[in-house]
Amino acid sequence: MTDTPQAPLDDTLPEDVAALIGAIQYEKTAAFPVEQGYVWTSCASVFNANPIYWDAKVADDITGGPISPPSLISAYARPHYWAPGAEGEQLSLQVHFDLKKRLGLPEAIMTDNTNVFYEPVRIGDYVTSRQVLKSVSGEKRTKLGIGRFWVIDVEYHNQNGDLLGTESYTGYGYRREATA
Amino acid sequence: MTTTATPLTLDQVKVGDTLPELSHDVTATTVILGALASRDWRPMHHDYKFAVERQGVQDIFLNTPNQGAWFERYLTDWTGPTGRIGRVVFRMTSPVFPGDTMVYNATVTGVETDEHGCGWVKLDVSLTVDGKPKTTCEARVAVPTAADDNPWDRRGERWAP
């Protein structure tokens, strides 16, 4: 840190950002169905031997057929890394990236995550997601830099309109401070 | 630790119970596999140079959904396949990097049966590295109230996570 006086942190919120709070944004249905391969890859990544994901008979008996791990729900709202006709980086949780750009905060991390799970996600489902910006803080200084915290909720439904789950993300967008 | 052969029932659980510890040595493969398994293509989860130079952290790090998958695995290893997670709230205070040994522990903080007859266990779960907390998690998990109960059968108003 230097001895140079620092500008006060900005506690105001741009009007166009404030107007987005509470609005439903980016309602999208996935371009692909929930597939067994995703389930196995996720379970393999954490060595999850739960037989409802590996044994069709157990899945029939307990969950009425194969399902996806609840924790994997957000994966079904993420776009392919590339698809025909797509340009630029394909991003999920677009509200998060919109805020980074609009507020001039090039870096970001997630700090808190709340997941609530309702109807099971089943193989063959097409998941629709929608995002709602819940809040944006004034500027705050942390060890990472100066930035703002925001909360974004995501709701997930299946093709029948059943609520599958909700997620609430707290993100911190920031710009790094120059070191002395 | 592996998934229990006999599913846990609510009568077997009491406040203050602790879960068997789970530890896992994190490698770059752990991080990258976890990110790609959750379809997370962001570079801080696979590109060392980006993580260090752009994000200002020491290495690539576990992404949020994969941390959720680790918590899920830890909890259902304990409950067995009839355990059904209703809610998880986790706070990531510090990233998990390759070279870390993750250690998971949990304590039961509540046991209840709701108005619909669903049995719930509340737990505080911690992920530590070298004894330092990296992520804390509060979980609410449904387990059978008896051998013939199955939380996965619950739909609509009978499922209140």
- Report which DSSP code applies to A9: P
B157 in any annotated domain: no
Range with the lowest mean pLDDT among A74-88, B108-122, B145-159? A74-88
Q: Is the pLDDT of residue A2 over 50?
A: no
B51 in any annotated domain: yes
How many domains does one find in chain B?
1
List the domain range (segments joined by +) for residue B140.
10-151
- Does domain A15-81+88-175 sit in CATH 3.10.129.10? yes
> Is A33 at the interface with chain B, CB within 8 A?
no
Cβ <8 Å between A41 and B37: yes
> Is A109 at the interface with chain B, CB within 8 A?
yes
CA distance, residue B32 to nearest chain A CA (Å): 9
Q: Does the interface ipTM go beyond 0.90?
A: yes
Q: Where are the domains of chain A?
A: 15-81+88-175
Nearest residue on chain B to A108, alpha-carbon basis: B55
pLDDT digits (tens, 9 = 90+) for A121-138: 999 999 999 999 999 999
B130 in any annotated domain: yes
Reference B67, options A96, A110, A163; nearest CA is: A110
> Is A52 at the interface with chain B, CB within 8 A?
yes
pLDDT digits (tens, 9 = 90+) for A6-17: 666 777 899 999
Residue A111 with chain B: CB contacts under 8 Å: 91-93
B89 in any annotated domain: yes
> Smallest Cβ distance to A63: which of B68, B73, B152?
B152
pLDDT digits (tens, 9 = 90+) for A55-109: 999 999 999 999 999 999 999 999 999 889 888 777 788 999 999 999 999 999 8
Chains A–B, number of C-beta pairs less than 8 Å apart: 129
Residue B126 belongs to domain with CATH number: 3.10.129.10
Q: What is the residue-wise DSSP string for chain B?
A: ----SS---GGG--TT-BPPPEEEE--HHHHHHHHHHTT---GGGT-HHIIIIIT-SSS----HHHHHHHHHHHHHHHH-TT-EEEEEEEEE-S---TT-EEEEEEEEEEEEE-TTS-EEEEEEEEEEETTEEEEEEEEEEEE-SSTT--GGG--GGG---
Nearest residue on chain A to B82, alpha-carbon basis: A62
B112 in any annotated domain: yes
B121 in any annotated domain: yes
| Residue A176 three-state SS | coil
